[in-house]
């Protein structure tokens, strides 16, 4: 379990750096400043939760309980929904796509998954089986 969590965190970390670099250097010419800010929020939470995944993977070595697996799953789903929806909103703005702005309703659902990930991590630490 911990190896797959750590491997996923490594790949998602690389993706966060790539997206962050794009946001810092290429995005400003494509979208208005408020969209750049939206994208940067997505990247920031993406990277925060890469670190959460790394911690979860390392902790799951010593705390091999189901809540640790659930924490990792919630962090993954949360990143996809929260950061992914912000990335998508920025892309829609860059391409002048209209009618899909309700995609922003997914963002808070992603946030709830991120919170659930932290709560599962807490539960997993309390439920140590050694």
Model pLDDT for residues 44-96, shown as the tens digit of each residue:
999 999 999 999 999 999 999 999 999 999 999 999 999 999 999 998 888 87
Q: If you search the block for the tokens 């919170």, which residue do you land on?
A: 115
Residue 123, CA atoms < 13 Å, CB-side half-sphere: 14
Q: How far apart are CA 36 and CA 19, in angstroms?
A: 12
Separation between Cα atoms, residue 124 and residue 126, nearest integer Å: 5
Which pLDDT score, from 0 to 100, does residue 19 have? 95
Residue 109 pLDDT exceeds 90 = yes
Q: What is the pTM of this model?
A: 0.92
* Token code pair at residue 114: 């991120």
- pLDDT-derived band at 9 (thresholds 50, 70, 90) equals very high
% of the chain residues with pLDDT over 70: 95
Is the dihedral angle over the CA atoms 92, 96, 100, 101 positive or is it negative? Answer: positive
Find the helix packing angle between 66-94 and 33-62, rounded to 10°.
170
């Amino acid at each position: 379990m911990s190896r797959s969590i750590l491997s996923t965190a490594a790949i998602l970390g690389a993706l966060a750096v790539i997206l962050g670099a794009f946001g810092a250097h290429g995005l400003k010419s494509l979208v208005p400043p408020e969209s750049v800010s939206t994208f940067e929020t997505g990247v920031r939470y993406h990277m925060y939760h890469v670190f959460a995944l790394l911690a979860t993977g390392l902790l799951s070595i010593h705390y091999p309980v189901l809540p640790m697996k659930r924490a990792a799953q919630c962090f993954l789903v949360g990143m996809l929904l929260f950061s992914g929806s912000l990335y998508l909103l920025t892309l829609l703005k860059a391409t002048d796509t209209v009618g899909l702005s309700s995609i922003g309703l997914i963002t808070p659902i992603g946030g709830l998954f991120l919170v659930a990930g932290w709560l599962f991590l807490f539960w997993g630490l309390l439920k140590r089986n050694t």
